[in-house]
Amino acid sequence: MSVYDAKIAGLTGASDLLGSLRGKVTLVVNVASKCGLTPQYTALEALHQKYSGKDFSVVGVPCNQFGAQEPGSPSEIQTFCSTNYGVTFPMSEKVEVNGAGRHQLYQDLTKAVDAEGHSGDIRWNFEKFLVDRAGKVVARFNPTVAPDAAEITEAIQAQLGK
């Protein structure tokens, strides 16, 4: 199954956010506004700006499961991200990434293994998944790996070069 088949609404109401990105290389990131890693929004937006003209997109997926660090309404999340970090990349509705209420998208993403050999549950906010044009997860990155780290930018470039 393609990640792009997972139905997830956009933060501002689009009914099929991922379907609209089919055919692009996408970096899916579970995000939160009140986390120590929240400043990663700056590098995520820079990645989005740098590669968006080459059929690439970052997608932020708000989640409140880690320390209740994303308590806001859709409007509050949108305002926070655009005002504080200039975010222009697509954001989804707030979802659960772990547990019985895990969104379908994360049913697929959590099967991927990262460089440390971790698969399964999301460990914290800002865990990242690189998805190829066909919707296959090709890389998973620990939350503490910066969005502009060489391993992420090289993986994106490799996918865009295909």
- pLDDT one-digit tens code per residue, 100-149: 999 999 999 999 999 999 999 999 999 999 999 999 999 999 999 999 99
Q: Where are the beta strands (DSSP E) in 16-145?
A: 25-31, 56-62, 128-131, 137-141
Fold of 3-160: Glutaredoxin (3.40.30)
35 is catalytic: yes
> Which residue type does 98 have?
N
Sign of CA dihedral 96, 102, 106, 111: positive
Active-site position among 35, 43, 149, 158: 35
In the chain, what are the domain boundaries?
3-160
For the record, the structure tokens of 95 come out as 């979802």
- Chain-centroid distance, C-alpha 29: 2
- pLDDT one-digit tens code per residue, 21-56: 999 999 999 999 999 999 999 999 999 999 999 999
- Please give the model's pTM, rounded to 2 decimal places: 0.96
DSSP H helices in 14-149: 40-51, 74-85, 104-109
